[in-house]
């Protein structure tokens, strides 16, 4: 994992506890920008997903992390942004092709369905795997509308 990566992170109420744990997992190796929510009170996931997607799209962050109960809502929201390739990753081996084949730039984690231990593994894979390019680049280039 590259030291000094900039990560935009956001979560709704269902992902709040995991977001807080992630913020403390990596020490100074990662520079996080926390886009909320800031409590476990009910919150609307699009509010945070748009902020994270904008930060990645505008180059303010290298990657984005989004957490909600199922991660479906944050993935759908983030993927509305042209420059975003948000991947819903619920286990480590699903995360590898998200980066190597799909060049995902936003990681979406379903906090109600993944252990915190697996969440850390998923993040480490997401941040260390590299896009393979080649035939995958042709496919990724066809994603945008």
- Of 7, 116, 124, 25, the C-alpha closest to 66 is 7
Q: How far apart are CA 123 and CA 116, in angstroms?
A: 11
81 as an active site residue: the answer is no
Question: How far apart (Å, rounded) are the C-alpha atoms in residues 60 and 19?
Answer: 19
In angstroms, what is the C-alpha Rg of the chain?
A: 14
The residue from 13, 50, 89, 101 that is catalytic is 101
CB neighbours of 16 closer than 8 A, spacing ≥ 6?
Answer: 37, 38, 39, 40, 67
Active site residue 108: no
Which one of 35, 68, 89, 108 is the catalytic residue?
Answer: 68
Q: Does residue 87 sit in helix, strand or coil?
A: strand
Q: Would you name the residues annotated as active-site residues? A: 68, 101
């Amino acid at each position: 994992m590259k030291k000094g990566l900039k990560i935009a992170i956001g979560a709704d109420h269902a992902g709040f506890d995991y977001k807080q744990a992630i913020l403390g997992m990596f020490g100074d190796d990662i520079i996080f920008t926390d886009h909320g929510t800031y409590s476990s009170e009910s919150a609307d996931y699009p509010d945070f997903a748009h902020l994270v997607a904008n930060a990645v799209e505008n180059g303010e962050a290298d990657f984005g992390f989004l957490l909600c109960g199922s991660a479906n809502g944050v993935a759908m929201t983030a993927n509305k942004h042209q420059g975003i390739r948000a991947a819903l990753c619920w286990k480590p081996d699903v995360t590898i092709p998200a980066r190597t084949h799909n060049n995902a730039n936003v990681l979406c984690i379903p906090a109600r369905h993944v252990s915190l231990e697996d969440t850390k593994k998923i993040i480490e894979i997401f941040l260390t795997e590299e896009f393979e390019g080649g035939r995958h680049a042709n496919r990724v280039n066809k994603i945008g509308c």
